[in-house]
Amino acid sequence: MRRKPKEKKTDYEALNSHFMQIPRMDVSTARDLIDLGFDRTYQLAGRSPEVLYDQLKRLRPDTPEYKLPLIRLAVYFAEEESPDPKRLRPEAWID
């Protein structure tokens, strides 16, 4: 008898969050920001992306490094009224 593959659960809260308005934001990083206590993009303004990443690492020690550029992008998006389209890519935030 063949087993049916386990279906992946959809995180509707993260998918419908304000963080998904950030260009190229992924659902798992939106979930991370929610779990850190944020629910609106503007709340990220003035925050240190590195500190947020460290908090996330304490919450989830297995957090991959690719999350840091996404967090930097989210903070930039929150702080800029007219963000530069060239900087609205995670690749622009890699050291």
Residue 6 has a pLDDT of 67
Stated pTM of the model: 0.89
Tokens encoding 18: 């304000």
Residue 1 has a pLDDT of 61
Contacts of 4 (CB under 8 A, 6+ apart): none
Residue 14 has a pLDDT of 95
Query: How far is Cα 56 from Cα 62, in angstroms, rounded to an integer?
Result: 9
Tokens encoding 95: 């050291």
Query: pLDDT tens, 13-61?
Result: 999 999 999 999 999 999 999 999 999 999 999 999 999 999 999 999 9
